[in-house]
Amino acid sequence: MKPEYNVIGKSLPRTGSVDRLRGAPVFAADIQLENPLILKALRSAHDHAEVVAIDVSKALAIEGVVRIFTAADIPGKNLLGIINKDQPLLATDKVRSRSDAVALVAAETESAAHEALAAISVTYNPLPSVTDPFEALKTDAPKIHPKGNLLFSRKIRQGDAEAAFAGCASVIEKTYRTSMIEHNYLEPDAGAGFVDTDGTLVIYASTQNPHYDHKEVVTLLGLGDNQVRIIQAATGGGFGSKLDLNVQGFIGLALFHLKRPVRHVYTREEAYLATAKRHPLTLTVKTGADADGRLKAIKAHIVCDTGAYGSYGIAVASRSAVHVTGPYEIEHVDIESYCVYTNKPFCGAMRGFGAPQVAFAHESQIDLHARDLGMDPLDIRLKNCLRVGSKTGTGQVLTASVGIGECLEAVKPYYREALESGVSAPTHPFRRRGIGLGAMWYGIGNTGVQNPSTAGIEMDPEGHITLFTGCADIGQGSTTVLAQIAAETLGVQPAEIRMVVGDTKYTTNAGATSASRQTYISGNAVKDACQKLGDVLMTEAINRLHSPKDSLVFQDGHVVIKAGPENRPEDRIDFPCLAKRIHAKGVPLFWQGYFDPETIPLDPETGAGSPYATYAFACHLALLEVDTLTGQVTLEKLVAAHDVGQAIHPENVIGQICGGAAMGIGFALMEEFEPQKTVSMKDYHIPTCADVPTVIPIIVESAEPSGPYGAKGVGEPALIPTAPAIINAIARALGERIYHLPANLERVLAASISSGHFGPQEVTHG
């Protein structure tokens, strides 16, 4: 029986929504400081080159130019990196891609800064470059980093895949490719900073992880933790790109030397050039199934192009290896995943960490098996899907909250209805309709590593509650969700809780807003802190109400005796009264919460381990029409069923599902970043409202025992199944499959021609 909650599961007004509607939040590019200097970075002229000399004399002579910084001006360690430190803030001896910054200009005006950029003279010694990861792995390839071009590899081996293939009735082996993708958030990367009266460097930034930014800046500048303060400005989207340092290091460097307010705003062209991209993957996947359609074995070889620097490449390569099995139980597993440096813009986190790329492969494979064995695509998924008690490819036994079967069942009525209506029959001489399914699983949090969060809760002597969290809200609504968790735990309304968010002076580290981790991990940290405060309140209430703890509950800002037959004043005591009594005794009213999910690191040779404490699951269904003359794909409907454990804020979940589906459409059909060709929005296609069909979101709640009130997460899972469902629908419409994303007009048209559907088709009606 589902528990009854006061505010959990309620779509309450989102925290700060009225202020946002009024335009009150100040985004990083709009922060007004007194007479700030303008910062601009000079980027590399080459993909790969030695930096011989930098001459800034002409640039310094320009009126309004205050200073030009090079690597020699960095007082601390000139190396950045979320997982491994391999990226300089300013290039030293060489550049590895055209996104590398070589010098930083500080000027009084924008025009002076731009003029100075053009006047800086850099002498390069060009080096051979490599842009193909397979070429980069060759022994004679140009060496991008001192240790070589292979950043990381992950192996997962269980059973004997080759022997299992020999006994399979259906064996499918295909190669899949995905493209580099730009995050394309509306708000540019931006920040501003000043030196406080106590000498602290204060930096406002559009960021997904202020505490990571803080750590990187103090290391760059060689300062103590208390000498730098990072404050998350209102952030207009991130999708993973704002996990990496963008402007923060440049702002900190200028503040350190000049002690004047500064601001740095990327142009759209600079954001396209210099920020992280989604990793392009090449996957060769071989899977085998028996005559009944049960998957028996998988062998996968994954090559992940991380560009010039690592960023989150290790995480993407590792997660892609874990997730390439799909949400299916497969006994025999042989997977290798490689993360490779090239001289392209660096790739980092982007909504899904490799899971969207591998889902395209594993969902194509299972549809190919269904066709090969004459089975229904939904039935074969139901036959193979993970259940409680199933063992994953890493040997982890799933003990609870495995909702993939429920998600498949949730889309079944829509799937059967579409089939019965003759969805695959042509309705026009040059158009064909198709239906497709895409399923997925997604491990919540980082892969097989410590992944903690902290939070603080405080009650003042008047009974007012303040929640402190370092969790960066980038539009996903985490501030609202964390307030709901705190409110449920303490028996108040979320609006009664004051929130202090994303400020390294006042909040402790909540970890990154990434990997769909904040609701589950930071939510648990918040709940832990609130329970500690609650214990103090309950202890004091026991003495006042003369009733045992198990008879007391929190209710509307009071501790009350829950079994009392009458609502008598003597059966309750309010928070202000309790707070005053506790404060007078010198007992703390500030408590720190902590949570780190239980994981087991993956064995480096076999991949055995429990990389995530819990998983989200989903299935999407796509109905679409393909114009066989033009290659145009028109989506008619998307049905999206997601197991989120417990929906803390259902409307928030629906918003994530619909937004993720829209992004998934772009990934499937149109988005492709090509270095030096894609320079701004005019060159890059993303879905508009005209491309997004009716989306029917279905919330499945398979409660996670270790989650806060059963919750898991949905931010990244919302995107992952959309492209596989669309590609499978196109394949069903044309009878020809696309193996390279995006399935743009040219690729769809080529498939149409290859299938023989390029021309008039027999039309049936009714």
Domains assigned to the chain: 17-24+452-595 (3.30.365.10), 31-127+189-265 (3.90.1170.50), 277-447+604-755 (3.30.365.10)
**How are beta strands 262-265 and 228-232 bridged, if at all?**
unpaired
| C-alpha separations of 73 from 58, 67, 99, 221, 653 in Å | 19, 11, 20, 10, 47
Are the CB atoms for 642 and 718 separated by under 8 Å?
A: yes
| Amino acid 497: pLDDT | 97
User: Residue 423 pLDDT more than 70?
Assistant: yes
The residue-averaged pLDDT of 487-491 equals 98
- The tokens for 133 are 């990861």
Give the whole-number percent of the chain exceeding pLDDT 90. Answer: 92
User: Residue 761 pLDDT more than 90?
Assistant: no
* pLDDT tens per residue across span 315-334: 999 999 999 999 999 999 99
The residue-averaged pLDDT of 145-170 equals 98
Give this prediction's pTM.
0.96
| Amino acid 338: pLDDT | 98
| Amino acid 20: pLDDT | 85
Q: Inter-axis angle of helices 248-258 and 210-221, to 10 degrees?
A: 40
The residue-averaged pLDDT of 548-552 equals 91
- Cα(690)–Cα(679) distance, integer angstroms: 24
310-342: b (≥16 Cβ within 10 Å) or e: bbbbbbbbbbbbbbbbbbbbbbbbbbbbbbbbb
| Amino acid 762: pLDDT | 46
Beta-carbon contacts of residue 753 (< 8 Å; ≥ 6 apart): none
User: Residue 677 pLDDT more than 80?
Assistant: yes
| Amino acid 766: pLDDT | 30
Q: Hey, CA dihedral for 58, 61, 62, 65, is it positive or negative?
A: positive
Q: Hey, CA dihedral for 654, 657, 661, 662, is it positive or negative?
A: positive
User: Residue 211 pLDDT more than 80?
Assistant: yes
* pLDDT tens per residue across span 236-261: 889 999 999 999 999 999 999 999 99
Give the model's confidence band at 622: pLDDT under 50 very low, under 70 low, under 90 confident, else very high: very high
The residue-averaged pLDDT of 343-347 equals 98
The residue-averaged pLDDT of 730-747 equals 97
Cα dihedral angle (125, 78, 269, 717), rounded to 10 degrees? 120
User: Residue 120 pLDDT more than 50?
Assistant: yes
Q: Hey, CA dihedral for 392, 395, 396, 397, is it positive or negative?
A: positive
The residue-averaged pLDDT of 574-586 equals 95
Q: Going along 548-679, which residue ranges are E strands?
A: 552-555, 558-561, 572-574, 590-595, 615-627, 633-643
Beta-carbon contacts of residue 543 (< 8 Å; ≥ 6 apart): none
| Amino acid 92: pLDDT | 96
Give the model's confidence band at 758: pLDDT under 50 very low, under 70 low, under 90 confident, else very high: low
Beta-carbon contacts of residue 248 (< 8 Å; ≥ 6 apart): 191, 203, 205, 207, 213, 216, 217, 230
The residue-averaged pLDDT of 624-629 equals 95
- Cα(89)–Cα(253) distance, integer angstroms: 10
- Helices and strands, number each (H, E), in the chain: 18, 28
201-228: b (≥16 Cβ within 10 Å) or e: bbbbbbbbbbbbbbbbbbbbbebeeebb
The residue-averaged pLDDT of 587-592 equals 96
- Cα(291)–Cα(437) distance, integer angstroms: 21
- Report the half-sphere exposure of 264 (CA within 13 A, side-chain side): 28
The residue-averaged pLDDT of 362-368 equals 98
Question: Residue 2 burial by CB count (10 A; 0-12/13-18/19+): exposed, middle or buried?
Answer: exposed
Give the whole-number percent of the chain exceeding pLDDT 70. Answer: 98
Give the model's confidence band at 430: pLDDT under 50 very low, under 70 low, under 90 confident, else very high: confident
- Cα(555)–Cα(577) distance, integer angstroms: 15
User: Residue 705 pLDDT more than 50?
Assistant: yes
The residue-averaged pLDDT of 264-275 equals 96
Give the model's confidence band at 765: pLDDT under 50 very low, under 70 low, under 90 confident, else very high: very low
- Quote the DSSP letter at residue 30: G
User: Residue 707 pLDDT more than 50?
Assistant: yes
The residue-averaged pLDDT of 196-224 equals 98
Q: Which of 213-222, 419-428, 627-636 is least confident?
A: 419-428
- The tokens for 153 are 């590899």
| Amino acid 566: pLDDT | 63
662 φψ region: left (φ > 0), alpha (ψ -120 to 50), beta (else): alpha
- The tokens for 421 are 């209506």
| Amino acid 520: pLDDT | 98
| Amino acid 760: pLDDT | 52
Average model confidence (pLDDT) for the chain? 95
Terminal-to-terminal C-alpha distance of the chain: 45
| Amino acid 671: pLDDT | 98
The residue-averaged pLDDT of 443-456 equals 96
Give the model's confidence band at 564: pLDDT under 50 very low, under 70 low, under 90 confident, else very high: low
The residue-averaged pLDDT of 126-149 equals 98
* pLDDT tens per residue across span 286-324: 999 999 999 999 999 999 999 999 999 999 999 999 999
The residue-averaged pLDDT of 77-86 equals 96
Beta bridge partners of 465: 459, 497
User: Residue 675 pLDDT more than 80?
Assistant: yes
- Better-scored residue on pLDDT, 244 or 421: 244
Give the model's confidence band at 275: pLDDT under 50 very low, under 70 low, under 90 confident, else very high: very high
User: Residue 17 pLDDT more than 90?
Assistant: no
* pLDDT tens per residue across span 20-29: 889 999 999 9
Beta-carbon contacts of residue 560 (< 8 Å; ≥ 6 apart): 552, 553, 554, 571, 572
